[in-house]
Homo-oligomer: A and B are copies of this chain.
């Protein structure tokens, strides 16, 4: 009976004659049989202690748990998952978590899934669709039981593959009429339109745009331009920048915009970082913000609205997205909801502007 890991190693050596050409795990690693032997029960009972403790007699339970404790046994979920077809793994595919509101979503999502006994496999796709496809396969090879996706702009290939796998999927941070499965998000188009409306209401005549060229930013751009078009404004100066956006990029974009369109009086930036950069550039150029030039960001990285009263921003509750995405998945995983029930939640947004702005 192995009482320690080194003793277990000795057992392995003894067994070597029985298993001719394999010492694969090597001397490392306790197995369920080590615990079973030590506790005087079968491996099945040990398995039940972990996965279905109510079905085990109290004394047995306690004895097994003592042995587990003593040996420091940690079940191998690769084996468990393979055998049970339940990996207890959830995949989250996100463009980036650095300097981004997605980090809030992933934070809450991960905490919630973790509490429910799942682990989160994090896949960062950048902003490339091909990357997302590669990552999806890497991630599917772990046989996750659910997937969180960022955005709704996925290739047909990806949508098809995900549908074939048949696991619950939540798309987040965006809306669409045709979700792959479930959805928790808000309309970027409506945000763009709302910011345009806000600018118009403030009396802006020449609104402009600094936007990244990712799908969501471009949806905001569309809403922005179309709302302005309805107001008769068709010439909207714009600067499209490549992600990731940063303060530096924003700082460079504004002068460029102004050189081409000196009379702009409002700028909608694709992110708060861009807006902060634009604000810095405006200061340097002696343009009063917001009186001469209104600047609106996107994201409200908590301190933006708080600390930079000149800026307007759009607040989105990333936390609420993460929480509800987790709930949607868990409801499905726990069998409480049918796969045919397509759930969609629009969490909305808020434009945050100081009175003075």
Instruction: Give chain A's interface residues, CB within 8 Å of chain B.
Output: 5, 24-26, 28, 72, 74-85, 87, 89, 92, 96-100, 103-104, 106-108, 110-111, 114, 119-124, 126, 135, 137-143, 161, 164-166, 246-247, 273, 276-277, 279-280, 301-303, 306-308
23 residue pairs A–B, Cβ–Cβ below 8 Å: A28-B166, A74-B137, A74-B141, A77-B143, A78-B142, A82-B82, A89-B142, A97-B103, A97-B106, A97-B107, A98-B107, A99-B104, A100-B103, A110-B122, A110-B123, A110-B124, A114-B135, A114-B138, A119-B121, A119-B142, A246-B302, A247-B302, A273-B302
Give the chain B neighbours of A165 by CB distance below 8 A. 28
Contact status B121-A120, CB under 8 Å: yes
The distance in angstroms between the C-alpha atoms of A273 and B304, with both chains bound, is: 11
Contact status B76-A143, CB under 8 Å: yes
Give the chain B neighbours of A114 by CB distance below 8 A. 123-124, 135, 138
Contact status B104-A98, CB under 8 Å: yes
Contact status A247-B306, CB under 8 Å: yes
Q: Which residue of B lies closest to A81 (CB)?
A: B78
Smallest CB–CB gap between A62 and chain B, Å?
19
Given known A247-B306, A302-B246, A302-B247, contact A103–B110 (CB-CB < 8 A): no
Contact status B122-A122, CB under 8 Å: yes
Give the chain B neighbours of A277 by CB distance below 8 A. 306
The distance in angstroms between the C-alpha atoms of A308 and B137, with both chains bound, is: 43
The distance in angstroms between the C-alpha atoms of A140 and B126, with both chains bound, is: 28
Smallest CB–CB gap between A129 and chain B, Å?
16
The distance in angstroms between the C-alpha atoms of A221 and B92, with both chains bound, is: 37
Given known A110-B124, A120-B121, contact A78–B72 (CB-CB < 8 A): no
Contact status A141-B306, CB under 8 Å: no
The distance in angstroms between the C-alpha atoms of A46 and B126, with both chains bound, is: 30
Give the chain B neighbours of A137 by CB distance below 8 A. 74
Contact status B87-A98, CB under 8 Å: no
The distance in angstroms between the C-alpha atoms of A301 and B273, with both chains bound, is: 11
* Extra inter-chain contacts (16) besides given A78-B143, A111-B126, A280-B306, CB under 8 Å: A5-B164, A80-B141, A96-B107, A97-B97, A97-B103, A99-B103, A99-B104, A114-B135, A114-B138, A119-B138, A246-B302, A247-B306, A273-B302, A276-B303, A280-B307, A307-B307
